[in-house]
């Protein structure tokens, strides 16, 4: 099964990277990206919602030492009750392999500070400048670019077939990170 999981992880990571490009549905990219992280680090026993914290732990390591450093930073974070990459502070945690400047650059890539509020046929969103905001209503999606300030965006028109009525949401993709609302927000909040 290891070979199958390794191949699945690569494919899911590729799907996850497609989210901001709009080549796959936004929810598929978010779920695939998180699942790819959880498969890659499956020996750590990551649960639902662990994709973003694992992403952060990976970015604090360098490739040659990732296999040793990621498990250590993951376990240290979990021992302190950290289960999301949204911690505050600009000082790198112990064990981080990045220089202070590179760590601050990593912090700028996170989707921290993103605010999403789905209200009827509109989404109130605050996203960093240049972030990709993907809205959907069924199979219909739209792309907007974050400006760093709060704005209200209208969901795209509903799928004419009516088969996916009420299935709407929004995702903000930063460089490597993502935050969603609609059923993605509910899904991310579920802990097992």
pLDDT at 153: 96
Indicate if 33 and 101 belong to the same structural domain.
Answer: yes
Under a CB-based contact definition with an 8 Å cutoff, are residues 53 and 79 in contact?
no
Indicate if 20 and 94 belong to the same structural domain.
Answer: yes
Enumerate residues 6+ apart whose C-beta is below 8 A from 34: 16, 49, 50, 51, 52
pLDDT at 5: 82
Indicate if 121 and 70 belong to the same structural domain.
Answer: no
pLDDT digit string, tens, across residues 133-158: 999 988 888 999 999 999 999 999 87
- What does the block give as tokens for 153? 């965006």
Indicate if 10 and 101 belong to the same structural domain.
Answer: yes
- Look at residues 109, 135, 165 and tell me which one is the last residue of a structural domain: 109
By C-alpha distance, which of 127, 126, 136, 87 is closest to 107?
Answer: 87
Under a CB-based contact definition with an 8 Å cutoff, are residues 48 and 190 in contact?
yes
Low-confidence spans in the chain with pLDDT less than 50: 192
pLDDT digit string, tens, across residues 102-127: 988 888 888 888 899 998 889 999 99
Number of domains observed in the structure of the chain: 2
- Look at residues 70, 87, 109 and tell me which one is the last residue of a structural domain: 109
pTM given for the model: 0.80
Indicate if 85 and 147 belong to the same structural domain.
Answer: no
Indicate if 88 and 15 belong to the same structural domain.
Answer: yes
Which residue range(s) make up the domain with 167? 115-189
pLDDT at 166: 59
Enumerate residues 6+ apart whose C-beta is below 8 A from 118: 168, 169, 170, 181, 182
pLDDT at 149: 93
Indicate if 169 and 133 belong to the same structural domain.
Answer: yes
By C-alpha distance, which of 53, 115, 57 is closest to 85?
Answer: 53
């Amino acid at each position: 099964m290891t070979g199958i999981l390794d191949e699945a992880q690569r494919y899911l990571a590729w799907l996850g990277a497609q989210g901001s490009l709009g080549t796959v549905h936004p929810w598929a990219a978010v779920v695939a990206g998180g699942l790819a992280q959880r498969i890659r680090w499956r020996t750590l026993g990551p649960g639902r919602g662990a994709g973003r914290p694992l992403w952060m732990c990976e970015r604090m390591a360098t490739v040659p030492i990732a296999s040793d450093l990621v498990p250590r930073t993951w376990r240290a974070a979990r021992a302190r009750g950290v289960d999301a990459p949204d911690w505050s502070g600009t000082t790198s945690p112990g064990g981080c392999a990045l220089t202070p400047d590179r760590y601050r650059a990593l912090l700028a890539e996170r989707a921290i500070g993103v605010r999403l509020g789905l209200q009827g046929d509109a989404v109130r969103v605050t996203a960093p400048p240049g972030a990709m905001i993907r809205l959907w209503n069924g199979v219909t999606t739209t792309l907007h670019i974050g400006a760093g300030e709060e704005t209200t965006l209208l969901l795209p028109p509903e799928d004419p077939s009516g088969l996916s009525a009420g299935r709407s949401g929004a995702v903000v993709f930063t460089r490597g990170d993502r935050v969603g609302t609609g059923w993605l927000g509910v899904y991310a909040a579920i802990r097992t």
